[in-house]
Structure 1
């Protein structure tokens, strides 16, 4: 199993999973809880597998988000709804969005492959994945495929945090360099909650390290980000190795038309295409 094939498989399922972050149905579901804090629903739903998580736990596991942004949302979200209610709101809204765009596709074969890959994932050193690995699977097959993407995503994300820390990139430095590498700077700068002063200081640290200049990432910056991604890929192979190369390649092929329909719908930003 090559890391490149594993990355392609993750990128395929990731396209379905990130519907939870962009679909208007999901934001409307969060709005009904009446918590005015920015990204309150995101923090509540994604951390709900921990139970009523303390802000410090969310800061530690989400890594690139400003502690101040988290503190404005958590624990206020738990006063507005239980973790189970937030998780259910996200799941049901994602189901509505997926079926709106994709209809009723036959996902039986790809779901079997995805669940086999998930069966090969381990929880050691993966706090968000470990928490979600105990959650019940939805009944709807398309939502089951989304849930498989969630598990793969959180497992990989935990490993990505490890890779960022090993590279010596603090949260803002990770966003500055990662945004330049993926073309998502505007998105991450406006959604992760860091002040202009904090962002500027992070850019300065990256300049001092020779990672960025006026033209964007330097050769050293590109090399460091490539190393971060390569480390993340190596740490994310286990589930796909369990499935096997043939099954993994088959999964990529089966998800491809669903992925294209999601992009064609305009629901997702185009920079997500670079994932996988």
Structure 2
């Protein structure tokens, strides 16, 4: 379900409409990060970089300082949230076309909302901040908000799983790359320096989790698998609000719009999340 809902959520960070709305607020758009940090952090209110760094986890602190520190001097969180809503509305209307307003999209939105509303946000600040926002009226916007609550709920749990297994921010990326989730170059988007990356590798190697060439050892693969398993377990509770048949129905309903989104080439084929967006259209 995460793999089906993540492309819906991720439209915000890659769609041209998101860049346009960010630009209208005064954010630079020569790269996506000024808008990304503002859009994603806005539900928290005027969060300082240290808070954003703690909750986003895998970004270099220097990167967070660069983009989060000036965010609220450019526009207040309330204005960013309004722009975010407009960007999502515009982007999904373009990407989904005739599916907007369809009975199938409305049904998907209703099912996803039920799961999102069942998410326990205790100890999950990113999920809690998004769950506290008012629900929109239009089904495509409801679907996006539900996807966002559920992915941030999962992300908060993922951080807990990483910390349970002793993987700090840089180590979390190095271990994920070492396990084959994506090439090292994909993880460079988090702006850790070469020295940071090497130091994280050395710490993991000292624990017996990495080979000398940077590949995961069998123990490294076991730890990484344990992280992902615990993440899934911590993300499972909201789905208990739906019956297995309802969850299967939601998956069925999501495939066509997700294929529409992926087919545009809007989203990267590989990301730091380890999702390969290569859906079979057959």
TM-score normalised to structure 1 length: 0.90
Deviation at 1:110, TM superposition (A): 0.9
Match of 1:261 in 2: 260
| 1:218 and 2:217 are equivalent in the alignment | yes
Higher mean alpha-carbon deviation, 17-26 vs 234-243, is at 17-26
Please give the residue correspondences for 1:15-164 in structure 2 after superposition, counting only pairs within 5 Å. Answer: 15-36=7-28, 39-105=33-99, 106=102, 107-164=105-162
Task: Give RMSD over aligned pairs.
Answer: 2.1
Contact 1:45–1:87 (Cα < 8 Å) also in 2: yes
Specify which of 187, 193, 196 is matched with residue 194 of structure 2: 196
1:21 Cα deviation from its structure 2 partner: 2.0
Q: Which runs of 4+ in 1 moved over 6 A?
A: none
> Per chain length, whose mean CA-contact separation is higher, i.e. which structure has more relative contact order (CA < 8 Å, sep 6+)?
1
* Structure 1 contact 52–75 (Cα < 8 Å) conserved: no
Q: Offset at 1:35?
A: 4.1
For the residues of structure 2 that align with 1:45 and 1:204, how far apart are their CA atoms? 34
Distance 1:202 1:31, change over 3 A: farther
CA contact (8 A) 1:126 1:155 kept: yes
**Alignment counterpart, residue 4 of structure 2, candidates 5, 12, 29:** 12
CA contact (8 A) 2:201 2:214 kept: no
Distance in 1, Cα, partners of 2:159 & 2:222: 18
What's the CA shift for 1:61?
0.8
Per-residue CA deviations over 1:203-227 (Å, capped at 9, x if unaligned) read 2222222222326222222211111
Paired with 1:201 and 1:246, the residues of 2 have a C-alpha distance of: 47
Give the gaps of 5 or more residues in structure 1: 1-8
Aligned pairs, number: 267
Question: In the TM superposition, what whole-angstrom CA distance separates every residue of 1:204-258 from its partner, at most 9, and x where no partner exists?
Answer: 2222222223262222222111110100000011110111211111111110111
Structure 2: how far apart are the matches of 1:140 and 1:187? 35
Paired with 1:239 and 1:227, the residues of 2 have a C-alpha distance of 21
Contact between 2:269 and 2:278, CA under 8 Å: does it hold in 1?
no
Measure the CA separation in 2 of the matches of 1:184 and 1:82.
Answer: 37
Tell me, in whole angstroms, the C-alpha distance in 1 between the residues paired with 2:81 and 2:184.
Answer: 28
Q: Which runs of 5+ in 2 are unaligned?
A: none
CA contact (8 A) 2:268 2:277 kept: no
